[in-house]
Amino acid sequence: MWSNITYRLVTPDGPAIITIVENPEKPNGIENIFFMIGKAGSATNSYCDALARMVMFALKTHTITEVINELSSITADKPPIVDNGKLIRSGVEALFIALLNWRNDAQSPYALEDNLYTPPYLNVDVLTRI
């Protein structure tokens, strides 16, 4: 049985919507990721779609922790946004925050993995979950 978790975060590029489709039969527990910033067809949204596809590709051979570590601390040239106590420095960092929160969810079987880097400025306890 698949289920969805959708996160909405404010980024320097605009509002981000990240939907993680869970599948317990997959090794990393994720069937698919949908990542959108901006309007359909925009350049930013195209980059988000490409990034989500590459994350799914990486999850075929790497753990969720390894993928999260690679996405952490990627910033943009725009001023950061503070959203519900979280400092978000780029659209990529929004995807990192959503994956980190999903992975650390108390109900997730992946919450016991170790070697996870969490930036000291990040407060994932206040992440908005839809």
Q: Is residue 99 in some structural domain?
A: yes
Comparing 69 with 35, which gets the higher pLDDT? 35
Structural domain containing residue 116: 3-125
For residues 38 and 114, give the distance between their C-alpha atoms in angstroms, rounded to a whole number.
34
Q: Is residue 33 in some structural domain?
A: yes
71-81 tens-digit pLDDT: 887 888 888 88
Buried b / exposed e over 47-63, threshold 16 CB at 10 Å, is bbbebbeebbebbeebb
Judged against a pLDDT cut of 50, whether residue 120 lies above it is answered with no
∠ CA 68-60-58, rounded to 5°: 40
CA distances from 109 to 18, 27, 50 (A): 20, 11, 27
DSSP string, 102-113: HHH-TT-TTTT-
58-94 tens-digit pLDDT: 999 998 888 888 888 788 888 888 877 778 889 899 9
Q: Is residue 34 in some structural domain?
A: yes
Judged against a pLDDT cut of 60, whether residue 100 lies above it is answered with yes
**Within 10 Å of residue 78's Cβ, how many Cβ atoms?**
12
For residues 61 and 4, give the distance between their C-alpha atoms in angstroms, rounded to a whole number.
23
Q: Is residue 45 in some structural domain?
A: yes
Q: What percent of the chain has pLDDT over 90?
A: 28
Number of compact structural domains in the chain: 1
Q: Is residue 130 in some structural domain?
A: no
